């Protein structure tokens, strides 16, 4: 096996490059997971979420006294 000597500056540049590559890979992983999860959402549920989002954007937000009442409302719409 051959031994190679590199300067400290070159080594630090390689470490920084490796950190950048790893950060970019993490971003790609997150994007892929998001895209994969989105494909599992049923179209009916997605349509309902979009309608709820539009209503909230229009200012007709909802408030609930409990999680049970929120769940009841979500299943009813």
Q: Looking at residue 7, what is its pLDDT?
A: 94
The string of DSSP codes covering 21-72 is HHHHHHHHHHHHHHHHHHHTS-HHHHHHHHHHHHHHHTT-----SSHHHHHH
pLDDT at 65 over 90: no
Structure pTM? 0.44
Q: Identify which has the larger pLDDT, 11 or 57.
A: 11
Q: Looking at residue 4, what is its pLDDT?
A: 86
Nearest residue to 24 via CA among 13, 16, 39, 35: 16
Measured CA to CA, the distance from residue 77 to residue 72 in angstroms comes to: 9
Q: Looking at residue 53, what is its pLDDT?
A: 81
Q: Identify which has the larger pLDDT, 46 or 9.
A: 9
Measured CA to CA, the distance from residue 24 to residue 34 in angstroms comes to: 15
Give the confidence band of 14 by pLDDT, cuts at 50, 70, 90. very high
Residues 77 and 48: beta-carbon distance below 8 Å: yes
């Amino acid at each position: 096996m051959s031994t190679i000597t590199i300067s400290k500056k070159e080594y630090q540049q390689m470490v920084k490059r490796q950190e950048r590559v790893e950060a970019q890979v993490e971003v790609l992983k997150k994007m892929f997971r998001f895209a994969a999860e989105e494909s599992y959402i049923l179209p009916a549920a997605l349509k309902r979420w979009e309608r709820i989002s539009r209503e909230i954007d229009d200012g007709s937000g909802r408030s609930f006294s409990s999680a049970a009442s929120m769940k009841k409302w979500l299943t009813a719409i």
